[in-house]
Amino acid sequence: MHPDTRLIHAGVRFDAHSGEVADSIRLSTTYRHGPAAERLPGGFEYQREAHANGQDLEAALCAAEGGARSIAYASGMAAIAAVFAALDQPGRVIIPRDVYNGTRIMAREYLTARGFELVEMDCFDTAATLAAITENTRLVWLESPSNPRLMVSDIEAIADRTRQMGAQLAVDSTFASPMLQQPIALGADIVMHSTTKYIGGHSDVMGGALVFARDDAFAGRAEHHRHLFGAHLAPFNAWLCLRGLRTLHVRVARHVENAGRVAAFLATHPNVARVHYPGLPSHPQHAVAARQMSGFGGMVSFEMADRDAALRVASRVRLFTNATSLGGVESLIEHRESTEVSPPKSPPGLLRLSVGLEHADDLIADLAQALG
Ligand code: PLP
């Protein structure tokens, strides 16, 4: 079955009684049980542990990523925290130097406090990454493509090594979405998404998710953490994420088409110093991206000569909105350095675009007038 078809039907909870075709929202925080806490066949006890809308989303995410188990969270950060919390043996954790800055801060503050050796490195450099995966490595965290410089890691090559060394390989696949990259098929143990982004798709819901290649003890600990720390997403948010997932394939196709055109335009503009987009043949990991992705995504970064030039562009755009986040229908622009709190910061001339679903001609015209 094609992924498009699968996403329309995955996680549908058919109610034989009402016959409803659309998914409904179930808000109950508690569930009737027997006098000695015997659960009803639905299996629920308390919303913080599990609920129907969450399970429907998780079933659909498993189908989308080809995983054995999925756990949904209140945000992408909550999902990342659960992976870090599930590590139960001391040792090394590797994260990319170019990575979402919340991930970096959490790794630095949370993992080092728990005694892990944190290695921050260029995970797009495959040889260096393989060499860094030693016998005491517990987790390699990849983000591919990475935020904000769109670096690409060779997931399959790194997965071979983590498997040999008994380490977990987790991939933050938020920028790719399940439509463009399947980390589990490439050998990853865990796929992470901020469902706030492309999966939600409309800049109106926070959520996060993990999808596991195997339903094992590690996944069990990540779920235990969600229950204990109250990190489950609310039923309405689960419903919105699942609603977004159903149209993901059509939206992502247009994001990719628009971003490809915007990147090609920027690459030929005399005032633009550098464009970061894995779909450009000039991108240093273009060949890896072409091999492991079925499209190059809707995110584009580019560099102006300096901070002032970048801020001039950001203040002149009319269709692109100055805002953080990504993956919604509307195009966003962000001067990353201005939002970052921990080094290494992005180059001062770097602007990140979340290319939305407007007509590409209008987006290019807007950038053309802003670039002068
Ligand atoms: N991963 C990436 C690549 C992100 O861009 C973000 C947020 O911007 C996150 C994780 C964190 O997700 P959330 O904001 O849903 O907690």
Residues with Cβ within 8 Å of residue 317, at least 6 apart in sequence: 333, 366, 367, 370
**φ, ψ dihedrals at 218, nearest 5°:** -60, -45
User: How far apart (Å, rounded) are the C-alpha atoms in residues 144 and 181?
Assistant: 9
> What are the Cα distances from residue 16, in Å, to 9, 49, 57, 60?
16, 25, 20, 20
Quick: pLDDT tens for 185-208. 999 999 999 999 999 999 999 999
Query: At 3, is the pLDDT very low, low, confident or very high (cuts 50, 70, 90)?
Result: confident
Q: What is the mean pLDDT of residues 268-272?
A: 98
For residue 54, what is the DSSP state?
H
SS3 content of the chain, % helix, strand, coil (to 5): 40, 15, 45
> What are the Cα distances from residue 188, in Å, to 43, 55, 65, 102, 202?
30, 22, 11, 22, 28
Active site residue 172: yes
User: How far apart (Å, rounded) are the C-alpha atoms in residues 318 and 316?
Assistant: 6
For the CA of 207, the closest atom of ligand 1 is 15
Site of tokens 């997965």: 159
Closest CA to 36 of 23, 45, 49: 45
Dihedral sign for Cα 35, 28, 53, 172, please: negative
Q: Which of 23, 98, 154, 172 is flagged as catalytic?
A: 172
User: How far apart (Å, rounded) are the C-alpha atoms in residues 233 and 236?
Assistant: 8
3-state secondary structure of 286: helix
User: What pLDDT sits at residue 137?
Assistant: 98
> What are the Cα distances from residue 57, in Å, to 72, 81, 236, 296, 303?
8, 20, 11, 25, 38
For the chain, the first-to-last Cα distance in angstroms comes to 48
- Count helices and strands (H / E) in the chain: 14, 12
Quick: pLDDT tens for 12-33. 887 888 898 898 999 999 999 9
**φ, ψ dihedrals at 192, nearest 5°:** -120, 140
Q: How far is the CA of 3 from the centre of ligand 1 (A)?
A: 24
pTM (2 d.p.)? 0.98
User: What pLDDT sits at residue 15?
Assistant: 81
Active site residue 100: yes
- Residue closest via CA to ligand 1's atom 15 equals 76
Dihedral sign for Cα 245, 246, 247, 248, please: positive
Beginning with the edge strand found earlier in the chain, give each strand of the sheet holding 321-322 in spatial order: 274-276, 299-303, 350-354, 332-335, 321-322
Quick: pLDDT tens for 220-260. 999 999 999 999 999 999 999 999 999 999 999 999 999 99
- Residue closest via CA to ligand 1's atom 12 equals 76
List all residues whose CB is within 6 A of at least one atom of ligand 1.
75-77, 100, 102, 143, 147, 172, 174-175, 194, 196, 206, 208, 325
3-state secondary structure of 299: strand
- Residue closest via CA to ligand 1's atom 4 equals 100
User: What pLDDT sits at residue 111?
Assistant: 97
Active site residue 197: yes
Closest CA to 133 of 170, 111, 173, 166: 166
User: What pLDDT sits at residue 169?
Assistant: 99
Domains annotated on the chain, with CATH: 3-246 (3.40.640.10), 248-371 (3.90.1150.10)
Q: How far is the CA of 140 from the centre of ligand 1 (A)?
A: 18
Q: Which of 23, 69, 98, 100 is flagged as catalytic?
A: 100
Quick: pLDDT tens for 272-305. 999 999 999 999 999 999 999 999 999 999 999 9
Active site residue 345: no
Indicate the helix (H) or strand (E) that contains 302. Answer: strand 299-303
